Structure formats: structure tokens, C-alpha cells
Amino acid sequence: MAAKASITGLYRYPVKGLSPEPMTEAALAPGETIAWDRAFAIENGSADFDAAAPRHFPKIKFLMLMKNERLARLHSRFDDQTATLTLSEKDREVAQGNLMTAEGRAAIENFMANYMKAELRGAPRIVHAPGFSISDVAAKVVSIINLASVRALEKLIGRPVDPLRFRGNIYVEGLTPWEDHGWASKEIRLGKIRAKGVMPIQRCAATNVDPTTAERDMEIPATLQRSLGHMNLGLYAEVLDAGTIRPGDTVSLA
């Protein structure tokens, strides 16, 4: 391991597929995600997500960047206190609604019905189940992105790569490229908090979409597979302790 690694950025994604929200700190709890991370998603077509008995679905069920890059043109902002989502496009507010009320969800759904019209398989429906994470994996995890791996990828692809393409929660500087891939099943220290590595994150075509321009302008999974024999970048981890992490906190194997 490098002499000293540390957290340089924290993000959450309250609505699956929409823009990241930078955080100055994140409160963690054992076996939980960052609060409100992937708490909501937008069904594209079949309305069979049951909030009373939630279960994991493949991400193709929802609007998401892998198929719907137009989402990246929207900037989303979520207010914890009011559960209000505000959507903007080119610095102009286009929709707002309290996602915990039928009226508020309808305001966002009506906007999406028009904005995503060409890509919808049916009426869009915002879904949520208290305490349930609508993640790409059927587990409550946080995602760690090793920025040295991103720089190594830049050399392979021959262009700058925005780390936000990887939609991670915790961005870490000071490791060697791909070092975190060896942390699966091992105990990790995030500041004073313990976590356990679960598995490397296999990347999909969502990473090919520029998070600023919404252009599908790279072939990241294909480049990783061709050059390294895998499509992994980043690590899923399970939180073991309660506490708060912040940029500047050290990261190490326990």
C-alpha cells in the first residue's frame, strides 16, 4: 500500500441515474448506505416495484445512464429536510416536487414523461421503499473509487477521464492503480470507521457517458477488458461501524 491514502471526495445519488451530489461529510451506519443514496429510482415501463415488499431488480428496469444518456443533461438537487427534488437544465429549473408525496412525485413524473418520451416503455414512476437501496447490487454498500486507477485508465484510453463517470461514493487518492481490487473480504479503515471490502465493481456502458455533456464518447468497459482482461474499476464495501467520514480522512487496510 502507498504510504498514505486519503478521502478526497464524497458523493451520493438520491435518485438512481440522476446527477451526483457532493458532500462535505457523510454519516455512516453498520450495514447501510450513505443516507438517501439510491433511495429513489424511476421505473421505465413495468410498474411492479412494491414498496411494501421491495426486492432487487436489474438496473435496466429503471431510467439510467447505461441506456438513457439524456439524463446527464439534468442537474438534480435533493433536500433532506423536505425530501424535495429540484431538476434543472442549463441552469434553468424545470421541475420540482416532494418525492414523499403523490403530488410531488407526479410533478417529476410528468416532466420525465415529456423529457424522456422517446425512450420510455411506459409511464415513468418514481419508486421508493424506506430503508431500501435501489442499487446495482442486491446489498447495502458504499462504493470506493481509486483515483490512481482512473489515471491509469486515462493512459490506456489516451484522454482525460472524469472520475464522476464512475458514480462512486468515496473517492480516494494515494493508492497504487487497482490496489483496492485486492481488498475484497479484507477490513478497511475509512478515517475511524471500519468497513469490509466486498468485491470490485464491474463497469457497464454508463461510464461511456460524459457526466457533463451527456455525450456517449468513450468505450471504458471495452478498453478495460481489452487491456487488462477485466472490466473492473472501484470497490464495493460494507460499513461495519457508525460514524462520520470527511475529505482528508485517511484510508488504509486495518
pLDDT at 16 over 60: yes
Taking all residues of the chain, what is their mean pLDDT, rounded to a whole number? 96
Question: What is the reported pLDDT for 156?
Answer: 97
Dist CA 238 CA 122 (whole Å) = 35
pLDDT at 2 over 70: no
Predicted confidence (pLDDT) per residue in 183-232, tens digit? 999 999 999 999 999 999 999 999 999 999 999 999 999 999 999 999 99
- b (16+ CB within 10 A) / e for 56-79: ebebebbbbbbbbbebbebbbebe
**3-state SS assignment for residue 152:** helix
pTM reported for the whole predicted model: 0.96
Dist CA 203 CA 225 (whole Å) = 10
Question: What is the reported pLDDT for 46?
Answer: 87
Q: Is domain 5-32+137-253 classified as CATH 2.40.33.20?
A: yes
Q: Write down the residue that cell numbers 468513450 correspond to.
A: 218
Question: What is the reported pLDDT for 244?
Answer: 98
Q: Looking at this protein, which amino acid is placed at residue 203?
A: R
Yes or no: say if 243 and 192 are a contact pair by the CB < 8 Å rule.
yes
Q: Which sequence spans correspond to the domains of the chain?
A: 5-32+137-253, 40-128
pLDDT at 236 over 90: yes
DSSP annotation of 247 reads: T
Dist CA 161 CA 49 (whole Å) = 34
User: E strands within the chain?
Assistant: 5-12, 21-22, 26-28, 40-44, 74-79, 84-89, 92-98, 124-128, 142-146, 170-173, 187-190, 193-202, 232-239, 243-245, 250-253
Predicted confidence (pLDDT) per residue in 43-89, tens digit? 998 899 999 999 999 999 999 999 999 999 999 999 999 999 999 99
Predicted confidence (pLDDT) per residue in 116-155, tens digit? 999 999 999 999 999 999 999 999 999 999 999 999 999 9
> What end-to-end distance do the CA atoms of the chain give, in Å?
12
pLDDT at 3 over 70: no
Question: What is the reported pLDDT for 174?
Answer: 98
pLDDT at 1 over 70: no
How many residues are recorded in the chain? 254
